[in-house]
Amino acid sequence: TMDRPNTGSGVLLALNAEAVGSLKEGVNFKKNPEDGKCYIIYKNKDGLKACKNQCKHQGGLFIKDIEDLDGRTVKCTKHNWKLNVSTMKYVNPPDCFLQDELEIMDDGGLQLVELNPIDPWLADPREPLELQKGEVKVTYLTHACMELQLGQRRFMFDPWLKGPAFARGWWLFHEPPADSLDRLCAADLIYISHMHSDHLSYPTLKDLSKRRPDVPIYVGDTLRPVFWLQSQVKLTNINVVPFGVWQDIDEHLRFMILMDGVHPEMDTCIIVEYKGHMILNTVDCTRPNGGRLPENVDLMLSDFAGGASGFPMTFSGGKYSDSWKEEFIKNERKKLLNYKSQLVKSLQPRIYCPFAGYFVEAHPSDRYIKDTNIKNSAEDLNALINKIAPEIKTWTPKPGSVLDLGLALRDPTNSEAITSPPGSAKIYKDSWDFDLYVDELNSAISCEIFKHQSWIQFYYTWAGFQNYNLVIRMIETDDNFEPLTDGYDYFVDFVDLSFPTKRPDREHSYIEIKNRIGVMRYVVLHGHLWDDLYIGFQNRISRDPDIYHHKYTHFISYNKTNNDCCLVLYMTIKTLNPFLSEKTDI
């Protein structure tokens, strides 16, 4: 939680005694006639509970769940998430969020009250000073990487400038300007929003560490540390800062990191202020800062594309036909486009720029994903914003494009405010050094450790997930997801963390996962996140029944993962096989 001063409270909804008396047992939907905002009140013999009618996932509206015979559950209209209002726990997916409960005040009628802490960016407000031409320049490099020139200082966001992300699943769509790495090494400070490899790019950071290991890097104080594999790079000036507190860099420059409301353990966003002018970058946050954000900032940056998940593209069986996936993806794109445009309209920035969505499934083995995982275009989002909020200036940059913030604020129509890259500049990547990076992943296949089947038990015991009624079958495959005759094919029963030879007779949830052998073994060997497999489209999944296991997915995505796994596996198998060479390459 943030340490915010001057906490106040606000009445969200007031009902008179007659309206309270007419509340029925179970779920009641109420709307504030003044502002149109909606609330849910649950009534039973023990009293009343209340919350906002807003899903914690992506802010969708709840409606009555016709499958609920007890009158306790509501269903989100966006993604069918379900909330048990009697407990304020989400039940689909299970074991995930708790809904924030509102205070209920009894004044003869009823008042729903929300604590309203002062927004942290309002602490120590500064009057905007006029910006001179060339004083603040924002340069787009690629994906989520922006360079901010703020007076004499250069601030870099999320540098992914080379190599793949998520194992070998994502590759850069845009060609970074030729001097991008030089710019990175010359930066005065770098912000890395979260641990995902399209923001925390180890190929990029390895190059940085060789040239400038002491560059100041700033990250939020997330539960899952951003630099969770810090031993991979020798960077010596990583600064973990608290949420919601201004970090003063000099007389005119400061920044503040905020957490995501949906994934507070991992995702962050940032406000940068220079001479009283604010730049808001919400990066990948699903509900940045729980939906409380500064209005009327000078420049807002956010993601836009979608398609950044293995669901539903890697799923098969049941409803997951190509036509179902196509329709689902189209609807999700539309929802995301509408959500982003409405968010921008509500915040009323002077200038808006969509970014952090420029990746492509470029490897030939992922052609199916590339052809079917259609994403939003920045042009489409900006066109929608221009339609519903024409007063907001939009910017769709190419690599090397520069926005002069001072000129744009004085006159949004000034053609000099935006500089396009030179006509000779390469915009789109057409070569990616596939072999260099794929060979590194595949080098794990022949590692000595995997000659001993006992690695399976040690790996899952080390990971520690159990006491959950789920059985998985893991199958190692080639690049086309065909099982390998010399690959492993095994079951894991997470009730007691056992390894049966077939599915148990009891009722249980079941997931069958086919993993590309090189990526799976590399993930195991180095203790990486399973996001490399899932978000990177490196597996194929079928579920019986077809339900989302939040507890399991959250564990393998965010929990105990570090490169100590390599040592654990090696030392254990060394004990079992004393003839294993001390020099064995693991």
DSSP tag of 33: T
Which residues lie across from 110 on neighbouring strands? 15
Provide the 8-state DSSP code for 233: S
Q: Using CA atoms, how far apart are residues 159 and 215, in angstroms rounded to an integer?
A: 13
Closest CA to 528 of 312, 228, 259: 228
85, 51 contact by CB (below 8 A): yes
Q: Which of 252, 251, 254, 263 is nearest to 226 (CA)?
A: 263
Q: What are phi and psi of 181, to 5 degrees?
A: -65, -35
CB 40 within 8 A of CB 33: no
DSSP secondary structure letter of residue 174: B
Residue 199: what pLDDT? 97
Instruction: Tell me if residue 145 falls in helix, strand or coil.
Output: strand
pLDDT at 559: 60
Query: Which residues lie below 8 Å from residue 358, measured CB to CB, with a gap of 6+?
Result: 142, 143, 172, 173, 174, 305
Q: What number of other Cβ atoms are within 10 A of residue 132's Cβ?
A: 12
Question: Position of tokens 């029963």?
Answer: 493
In this prediction, residue 142 carries a pLDDT of 98
| Radius of gyration of the chain from its Cα atoms, rounded to whole angstroms | 25
Please state, in angstroms and rounded to a whole number, the distance separating the CA atoms of residues 475 and 539: 10
Q: What is the pLDDT of residue 262?
A: 83
Task: Give the pLDDT confidence score for residue 561 in this predicted structure.
Answer: 46
CA distance 44 to 361: 52
Cis-peptide into 312, omega within 30 deg: yes
What pLDDT sits at residue 9? 62
Give residue 195's identity as a one-letter amino acid code. Answer: M
Identify the three-state secondary structure at position 299: strand
Closest to 497 in 3D by CA, of 529, 547, 463: 463
Q: Which helix or strand (DSSP H or E) is residue 491 part of?
A: strand 489-493
Query: What's the pLDDT at 572?
Result: 45
Question: What is the Cα–Cα distance from 306 to 284, expressed in whole angstroms?
Answer: 10
The answer to whether 324 and 294 are in contact (CB under 8 A) is no
Output the tens digit of pLDDT for each of the chain's 586 residues.
333 333 456 789 999 999 999 999 999 999 999 989 999 999 999 999 999 999 987 778 999 998 888 889 999 988 788 999 999 999 887 777 789 899 898 878 899 988 767 899 998 999 999 999 999 999 999 999 999 999 999 999 999 999 999 999 999 999 999 999 999 999 999 999 999 999 999 999 999 999 999 999 999 999 888 887 666 789 999 999 999 999 999 999 999 999 998 888 899 999 999 999 999 999 999 889 988 999 999 999 999 999 999 999 999 999 999 999 999 999 999 999 999 999 999 999 999 999 999 999 999 999 999 999 999 999 999 999 999 999 999 999 999 999 999 999 999 999 999 999 999 999 999 999 999 999 999 999 999 999 999 999 999 998 888 999 999 999 999 999 999 999 999 999 999 999 999 999 999 999 999 999 999 999 999 888 899 999 999 999 999 999 888 778 777 766 654 444 544 444 444 444 443 433 333 3
pLDDT value, residue 6: 39
